[in-house]
Structure 1
Amino acid sequence: MTTERTLPVVVAQTGAPGMLSTNRVLRNTYGLLSATLFFSAAIAATSAALKLPHPGIVITLLGFFGLLYATTKLRNSAWGLAAVFGLTGFMGYTLGPIVSQYLAMPNGHQVVMMAMGGTATIFVGLSAYALTTRKDFSFMSGFLLAGILVAFLAGLGAIFFQVPALSLTVSAAFVLLMGGLILFETSRIVNGGETNYIMATVSLYVSIYNLFSSLLALIGFGNNND
C-alpha cells in the first residue's frame, strides 16, 4: 500500500489512529492467543493424564466447524470470547489422546518436546519476520486456500484408506501451509487487513495447532524408524 508523502504533517496525523488501532489489535490478539494456548494446553494435559478417548474424526470435524461458526457469528460481541475458549478447549481435548499415544512410545517425551520446540521456533521466527518487515503477504491467500483444501481432503483420504505415506506427505504439506498462514495472518494484522482480534486469534491458533500436530506426526515417524 503506497501513501503520498507530499503533506507529511497531514499524513502523520491521519495515519496515527490507524497505527494505534493496529497496535491495539496486535496486543489484543497476542494476549488472547496466549490465554487460549494456555487453556488449550491445560485441557490437553488433563485429557492425556486421564487417558480420555479421542472423539473420532467425525465428532472432531463437527465440533470444530460448529464452534468456528459460532465464533465467527459472535466475533463482535463479548460472547465471542466464550466461543473462542470453547473452540480452543475442544481442540485441546482432541489433542490430549494424540499426545498420550506419542508419550507411550519409546523416547515419546523427546518427540513431544521436539514438536513443541519446533512449533514455537517456527511461530516466533515467522511472526517476528512479518512484524519487523511489515511485508504484505496478501498475495498468498489464493495459494493457501487451495493448498489447505487439497491437504485437508488428502488427509481425510489418508485416514479413511489407511495410507501412511499419504499421511506423512499431508503432515509435511501442513507444516509449510501453516507457516504461510502465520505470515499471511500476521501481515494482515500489521497492514490493517484484519481488525477483529478474535478472528485473528482463531486463525493463529489453528495454525499453531496444525503445525504442532503435523510436526508431532513427522518426528514420531522418524523416531519409530530409528
Structure 2
Amino acid sequence: MDRTLVQSHTGSFGHIMQTFALSLLVSFIGTLAGAMFIPPSLVGLFIVVEVVMLVSVFIIRFRGKTIGYPFLYIFTAVTGVTLYPVIANYGGLLGANLVSVAFLATAGIFGGLSFYAYRSQRDFSFLGGFLFAATIGLIVVSLASLFIPMGSVTNLVISVLGIVVFSGWVLYDVSQYKDGVGSEQVPMAALNIYLNFINLFIYILRFLASIVGFSRN
C-alpha cells in the first residue's frame, strides 16, 4: 500500500517526456499563430512576456518552489510566437530545406543524447556547475551581440559552444530525471528539457548560418 501511494505521487520519466512533447506541440501552435495571426508590431510584447516569465522561473526555482501546467503551456505558446521571426529570418538566410535539416538534426542529437543518458550508469551531475556558468556566458555574449557586431568566426565559435553546452544540459537533465520526480515537479522538469531542445535548435541554425556565411565570403 505504501509503495503504491509513493508511485501515485511520482512523475515517471515517461510522463516528463510526454509533457515535454505536448509542450513542443503547444510551441508549434504558437509559431503558427505568430506566422498567421500576430502582427509583427506585437512580437515585442510577446518577447517582454517571455523574458518576464523566464525570470519568474529562475526566482521560483531559487525559492525551491515549482510551476504548474498552465504556466508551462502559456510559456511554451509565447515562446512559439517569438520563435517565428527567428525561424523566418534563418529561413531567408538558409532556405526552408536547411531549416528542416536543422530541426531534424536537433531531434536526432536530442534523441541520441537522451537515450544515452537514460541508459547510461554514469552520473552527469558533475556537469551542473560548468553548464550553469557556460550558459550565463552565452547569455552575456548574446546580449553583447545586440550592440556589438559579431564576425563570422565569432558567430561560428559561439554556435559551436552553444551546441556543446545545451547538449550537455540534455545529458544532465535526463540523468537527473530518469528515475522520476515528484508529480508537482513534472512541469518544471518538462520546461527544462523544452528549453534545452529549443536552444539546441537555435544554435544549430546559427551554426548552419555561419557556415553559409563562410561559403559566401
Give me the TM-score of the superposition, normalised by structure 2: 0.81
AA at the equivalent of 1:168: L
Task: Name the counterpart of 1:218.
Answer: 207
Residue 19 of structure 1 deviates from its aligned partner by: 9.9
AA at the equivalent of 1:212: F
Task: Name the counterpart of 1:108.
Answer: 95
In structure 1, the residue corresponding to 2:77 is in which secondary structure?
A: helix
Percent identity, aligned pairs only, is 23
Greater shift in the superposed pair: 161-170 or 179-188: 161-170
> When the two structures are aligned, how many residues end up with a matched partner?
207
After superposition, give the CA deviation of every residue in 1:15-42 in whole Å (9 maximum; x if it has no partner).
Answer: x779957984212211111111011012
Residue 155 of structure 1 deviates from its aligned partner by: 1.4
After superposition, give the CA deviation of every residue in 1:47-103 in whole Å (9 maximum; x if it has no partner).
Answer: 134574342897266334245358758736xxx100001111111111101111222
Asked if residue 135 in structure 1 is aligned to residue 126 in structure 2, the reply is: no
Task: Name the counterpart of 1:188.
Answer: 176
Moved over 6 A (4+): 16-19
Task: Name the counterpart of 2:197.
Answer: 208
Task: Name the counterpart of 1:94.
Answer: 82
Work out the CA distance in 1 between the residues paired with 2:103 and 2:131.
23
Is contact 1:51-1:97 (8 Å) kept?
no
Q: Structure 2 stretches of 5 or more lacking a match?
A: none
Is contact 1:116-1:212 (8 Å) kept?
yes
Greater shift in the superposed pair: 120-129 or 212-221: 212-221
AA at the equivalent of 1:125: G
Q: CA RMSD in A?
A: 3.1
Q: Go from structure 1 to structure 2 and tell me whether the alpha carbon gap of 1:176 and 1:17 turns closer, same or farther (over 3 Å shift).
A: farther
Mapping of 1:1-226 within 5 angstroms? 24-50=11-37, 52-53=39-40, 54-55=43-44, 59=48, 62-66=51-55, 68=57, 75=66, 80-105=68-93, 108-165=95-152, 166-191=154-179, 194-195=181-182, 196-226=185-215
| Larger gyration radius, structure 1 or structure 2 | 1
In structure 1, the residue corresponding to 2:12 is in which secondary structure?
A: helix
Is contact 1:71-1:84 (8 Å) kept?
no
Residue 133 of structure 1 deviates from its aligned partner by: 1.4
In structure 1, the residue corresponding to 2:122 is in which secondary structure?
A: coil
Q: Which is bigger in relative contact order (C-alpha 8 A, separation at least 6)?
A: 2
AA at the equivalent of 1:187: S
Give me the TM-score of the superposition, normalised by structure 1: 0.78
